[in-house]
Amino acid sequence: MGSRQFRPKLWALGLTVVLCAAMVALGIWQLKRGQEKAELAARYEAAAQRPPREMTAGAWAEPGVIERARVAGRFDGTRQLLLDNQSHRRQPGYRVWTPLLLEHGGIVIVDRGWIPADGDRGKLPPLPVPQGEVRFTGYWRTLPEPGMRLDVDNCAPAPWPRIVQYPTVDELRCIYGESLPGGLFLMDADVPGGYVREWGAGPELSPNKHYAYAGQWFAFAAVLVGLFVALSFRPKT
């Protein structure tokens, strides 16, 4: 390149720096998401090795802790929730949250799994529940939290079943009463009366896709830098 010299344009330099910084930031974010998924899967695996404990009305889920637990009671099929914006294998749907009236008093929210959404958002799926006394095992954990919480009032009166957007413990207690424990019970996959359940497994919890996305963002940044350098060599004047 004896007849050419490196003379980048300032606007190109600024644009490259901004875009590269954004791509690297997105790559780092995807790496962190992958690590979070891997850690969550490890907590499910560790919990599966321990015996379940009996759930009581005063139970409280510790942040970051997943436990095996056992519940007994009767489902209340008249006051169910549908957690919105939940996908499974890229298909949109809901998670079905059903209150269980504990045999010794109190209430706990049971996640019975994922169900697909109808193409018509105004048409909700039927949500039958097992009748009579039920007893089953599952995982006990804190409520799921979104990456960005929308400004919605999950406690506002609405017909049942209600569609909600990641309700907090306070919002659930507003709906069901102050005796509600602070957590969510995930019904085991082999328990009848539920929907799609892949706790601790399945593509939605795999960190590999996040690592792949991170690699793509870092590759895009490298290609952009290469193009910037190559195009910045111009003939000497």
Q: Residue 181's pLDDT is what?
A: 78
Calpha distance 113→118 (Å, rounded) = 16
Q: Residue 204's pLDDT is what?
A: 58
Question: How far is residue 210 CA from its own chain's centroid?
Answer: 14
- pLDDT of 220 higher than 80: yes
Sequence-ordered strand ranges (E) for 39-153: 53-54, 67-75, 81-88, 91-102, 107-116, 134-141
Q: How confident is the model at residue 148 (pLDDT cuts 50, 70, 90)?
A: low
For 153-182, the pLDDT digits (tens) are 777 788 889 998 888 888 888 888 767 778
Phi, psi for residue 113 in degrees, rounded to 5: 115, -175
What average pLDDT score do residues 80-103 get?
89
Cβ-based neighbour number of residue 213 at 10 Å: 17
| Lowest mean pLDDT, pick from 5-19, 73-87, 146-160, 164-178 | 146-160
Calpha distance 53→56 (Å, rounded) = 9
3-state secondary structure of 60: strand
For 47-68, the pLDDT digits (tens) are 777 888 887 766 766 777 788 8
Angle between helices 10-48 and 208-232 (to 10 degrees): 170
Domain locations in the chain as residue ranges: 54-199
DSSP H helices, the chain, are 10-48, 169-176, 208-232
